[in-house]
Amino acid sequence: MDARTLRIKTEVLGYLSGTFLSKGYLWMLPKVLSPITDPLWPDPAEQKTEPLEVEVRTYGLRLRLTHSMILHKQAAVSRFGRIFVLSPNVRIEARKPDGWHAFEFTQFDFEARDLRMKDVMETLEEVIRGLARRLCEGGLVSCEEYGGILKGDFPVYDYADLGEEGVDRLTQEEERPFFVVNIPREFYDYYDEETGEWHNYDLYVPGYGEVASGGEREWEYEKITRKILKGGLKVENFVPYLRMVKNGEIMPSAGAGLGIERLVTFFSGLADIAEAQVFPRIPYREVEL
């Protein structure tokens, strides 16, 4: 990472935190170890990923490194209404280096009670536009190259019409960020059993790939447990979360997670996500420090 890239990363972090504080979100600190974490499965865009476990011998505990804080976000917004968190994530996936995947990275996660998919998509679009404007006006990126983000609404496509090949094609063809909605995914994303549609989305940036993922959330115990079993997961792996769901402590919400290193890679015009980390953590590469 060079000094310009770190300045862009600093602006990204400052802009995101300042913007969400101004919107009334509360800043929550991350959980690095937990008895539960996001299974990241089933997901057509991901390989099945086993979480890393840590044995805390002093306390006789086995805890997992966080894949993402989605389950914790759901629990937090039920109490606090609106929260955001800069969340470290560790995902050990069987990937070759492709310039877009790191196994240790940071997400800017936000979640709010009683929001809908459309609300969060509008917020994401607003944030990406505002960030592009901030970086252009600050002279950190070319306004000619990134100014197109400020013109026109981001296109929205249905995953059912595209499939993975269609998404990959659009990533190379589109000139602006775009949304893909209705993606068959994890048990916590809301699935409308009447329409057969998933109320979720990914946000893609041209020439690179997905930078944000989110959706409306499930909150009904029977539906969640049914989806866990259908996905081939073990109910016992989610006992603390399911206890809260059953007790009515999880409420309807929606949110998203923005990949910080991916945003920085995009706005810096980098060839590889490793250049967006001071000490890169990239699959199958030598680890620094």
Using the predicted structure, report yes or no on whether residue 45 has a pLDDT greater than 60. no
pLDDT for 39: 87
Using the predicted structure, report yes or no on whether residue 214 has a pLDDT greater than 80. yes
pLDDT for 44: 53
Using the predicted structure, report yes or no on whether residue 259 has a pLDDT greater than 70. yes
H/E stretch holding 109 reads: strand 104-113
Contact 132, 146 (CB under 8 A): yes
Q: Which range among 42-46, 186-190, 280-284 has the greatest average pLDDT?
A: 186-190
Contact 224, 36 (CB under 8 A): no
pLDDT for 225: 96
Hey, what amino acid is at 248? G
pLDDT for 47: 60
H/E stretch holding 118 reads: helix 117-137
As a whole number, mean pLDDT of residues 108-130 equals 96
pLDDT for 289: 82
Range from 104-108, 147-151, 163-167, 173-177 carrying the lowest mean pLDDT: 147-151
Place of tokens 């960020």: 177
Range from 166-180, 211-225, 227-241 carrying the lowest mean pLDDT: 227-241
Degrees to nearest 5, angle at CA 44 with 167 and 85 = 85
> Three-state DSSP class for 35?
coil
